[in-house]
């Protein structure tokens, strides 16, 4: 519902009523070659949500409220002007898809959402324009800052160490600890190694009983999250599964062995990978797609083994990089491939050659050598960390750029 600022503030009991701009309209701000009208500022004030008012305006005077709104509108105008210079434009299809996405998230059809906005007394066209403006600004930031922010592996490693994020995920272990106390380091290495061998081949309790002359402690740690363990233990436990023992862990107290009773990873992310080869033939003015398809059928029917496939790839494939290796694309994940290729790869039985199929690159046949399922938690965690670093870099560069944009702009604010 369109509300005047006096109505909003009197309902929320946050401010004394602010005088409306009235019916007359005039230019309040000039931003380069664009103007901001009195009515636009009033509309922006009227569109403030109750949450925004409480969060951003509850401590401001009437004039400060208007000044803050004007600053927002100046920033928005400068960004939209910059987007235009970079030829960034939101298509009608993208805008409609976003509207449908918003409506769906509210359990509504697009028409139902539109009617709801209108029934609240709001301007639907203004709602759509504001959404388009926001999408334009978001696209500007992505293309000019986020996508250009480089993140190195060293930065990811440093961030993960600082924030205590472990690339294998947050694992919950059930552990038993064996400790040979030797804070003065008097026990010989040979005896320590013998104790380790016996402890890992028999049981901690048996070794403790056998070597009563030594200060040996056996403790059932129970279930504990990896993040609660000391760094020495975390390093030693890396890659250990149920029933396995860590290598010998040396500390200032002595020597430790951990037995893993169970290891449950909260962030397991299994993903399928395919060992695949392909032969690609690209269309050209002298060869029709029908001819290419027939040629690939002919090649496929001559393939009797992986060795023959490799030879045919070297002879015919237009993908020269993989052709050199017999069409080998190594291990691939569906999400990294064009959809047409991924679909055929997933459906082709191991050890067989597919029928010819098209993609944007040309026509293919493929051979699936093998398939495996791996835990991709490490890759996902590192990717999420890299994205967080990239977003932080982009945000800092964006704010500096916005300040520079404002410094270089012609901005005139008339008396209000």
Cα Rg, the chain, nearest whole Å? 33
Asked if the domains 5-147 and 270-375 are classified in one and the same CATH topology, the answer is no
Place of tokens 């930031």: 141
pLDDT at 388 over 90: no
Four-CA torsion 330, 336, 339, 344, nearest 10 degrees: 20
Q: Is 280 exposed, middle or buried (0-12, 13-18, 19+ CB in 10 A)?
A: buried
Fold of 170-265: Chitinase A; domain 3 (3.10.50)
For residue 44 the two structure tokens come to: 């922006």
pLDDT at 51: 83
Q: How many CB atoms lie within 10 A of CB 413?
A: 14
- Model confidence over 224-252: pLDDT tens digits? 988 788 888 988 888 788 899 999 999 99
Of 185-199, 229-243, 295-309, 360-374, the range with the lowest mean pLDDT is 229-243
More confident residue, 59 or 354: 354
Task: Find out whether 372 and 273 touch, Cβ atoms under 8 Å.
Answer: yes
Q: How far is CA 302 from CA 293, 312, 375, in A?
A: 14, 9, 37
- Measure the CA–CA gap between 151 and 154, rounded to whole angstroms: 8
| Beta-bridge partner residues of 270 | 375
Q: How many CB atoms lie within 10 A of CB 353?
A: 24
The DSSP call for residue 16 is: P
- Model confidence over 255-305: pLDDT tens digits? 999 999 988 765 556 789 999 999 999 988 888 889 999 999 999 999 999
pLDDT at 239: 77
Evaluated on CA atoms 401, 406, 407, 409, the torsion sign reads: positive
- Model confidence over 58-72: pLDDT tens digits? 888 888 888 999 998
Q: How many CB atoms lie within 10 A of CB 366?
A: 24
- Measure the CA–CA gap between 39 and 28, rounded to whole angstroms: 9
Question: Residue 327's closest CA among 339, 337, 315, 335?
Answer: 315
What residue spans define the domains of the chain? 5-147, 149-168+377-416, 170-265, 270-375
Which CATH architecture does the domain made up of 270-375 adopt? Answer: Roll (3.10)
Q: How confident is the model at residue 359 (pLDDT cuts 50, 70, 90)?
A: very high
Fold of 5-147: Triger factor/SurA peptide-binding fold (1.10.4030)
pLDDT at 106 over 60: yes
């Amino acid at each position: 519902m369109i509300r005047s600022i006096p109505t909003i503030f009197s309902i929320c009991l946050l401010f004394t009523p602010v005088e409306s701009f009235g019916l007359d309209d005039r230019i309040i701000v000039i931003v380069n070659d664009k103007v901001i009208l009195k009515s636009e500022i009033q509309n922006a004030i009227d569109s403030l949500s109750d949450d925004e008012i409480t969060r951003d305006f509850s401590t401001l005077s009437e004039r400060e409220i208007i000044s803050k709104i004007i600053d927002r509108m100046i920033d928005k105008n400068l960004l939209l002007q910059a987007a235009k210079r970079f030829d960034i434009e939101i298509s009608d299809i993208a805008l409609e898809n976003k509207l449908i996405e918003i409506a769906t998230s509210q359990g509504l059809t697009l028409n139902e959402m539109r009617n709801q906005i209108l029934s609240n007394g709001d301007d639907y066209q203004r709602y759509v324009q504001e959404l388009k403006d926001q999408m334009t600004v978001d696209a500007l930031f992505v293309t000019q800052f986020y996508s250009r922010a480089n993140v190195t592996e060293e930065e990811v490693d440093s961030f993960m160490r600082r924030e205590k994020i472990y690339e294998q995920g947050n694992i919950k272990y059930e552990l038993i600890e064996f400790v040979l106390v030797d804070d003065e380091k008097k026990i010989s290495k040979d005896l320590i190694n013998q104790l380790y061998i016996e402890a890992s081949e028999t049981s901690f309790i048996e070794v403790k009983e056998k070597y009563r002359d030594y200060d040996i402690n056996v403790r059932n740690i129970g279930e504990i999250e990896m993040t609660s363990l000391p760094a020495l233990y975390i390093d030693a436990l890396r890659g250990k599964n149920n029933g396995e023992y860590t290598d010998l862990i040396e500390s200032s107290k002595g020597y430790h062995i951990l037995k893993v009773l169970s290891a449950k990873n909260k962030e397991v992310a299994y993903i399928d990978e395919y060992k695949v080869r392909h032969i690609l033939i690209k269309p050209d003015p002298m060869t029709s797609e029908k001819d290419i398809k027939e040629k690939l059928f002919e090649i496929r029917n001559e393939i009797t083994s992986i060795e023959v496939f490799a030879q045919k790839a070297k002879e015919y494939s237009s993908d020269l990089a993989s052709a050199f290796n017999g069409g080998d694309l190594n291990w691939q994940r569906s999400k990294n491939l064009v959809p047409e290729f991924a679909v055929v790869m997933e459906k082709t039985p191991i050890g067989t050659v597919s029928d010819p199929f098209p993609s944007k690159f040309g026509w293919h046949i493929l051979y699936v050598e093998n398939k495996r399922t791996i835990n991709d938690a490490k890759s996902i965690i590192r990717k999420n960390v890299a994205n967080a670093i990239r977003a932080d870099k982009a945000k800092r560069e964006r704010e500096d750029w916005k300040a520079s944009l404002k410094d270089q702009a012609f901005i005139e604010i008339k008396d209000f």
